[in-house]
Amino acid sequence: MSHPSALRVPITISQWFDGHGRTILIASHDIFRIIVRFTNSLLTFTTIKTNCQKSETIIQKIRWLRSAAAH
């Protein structure tokens, strides 16, 4: 199933440090949540469909990283 209209959905980007010197960017819209990690010169993309159960675990980990970075 393709969702061409998703390309026109506004994308929200948030950024923070995970406490280990890495900057994590989250670009998200209704269908996909894209995690972009900068580790030294490496750039890694991880795409998670938000309608699969694993995405909730990822979101919880993201929240944990944010709270850990705040301390």
pLDDT digits (tens, 9 = 90+) for 7-66: 454 555 555 555 665 555 665 554 455 555 544 444 444 444 444 445 555 666 666 666
Strand-pair category, 32-39 with 23-28: antiparallel
Which pLDDT value is given to residue 42? 40
- Full-model pTM: 0.24
Return the H-helix or E-strand segment holding 6. none
Which pLDDT value is given to residue 49? 45
67: which 2 tokens? 């709270």
Which pLDDT value is given to residue 22? 59
Report the C-alpha gap between 42 and 1 in whole angstroms: 32
Report the C-alpha gap between 48 and 70 in whole angstroms: 25
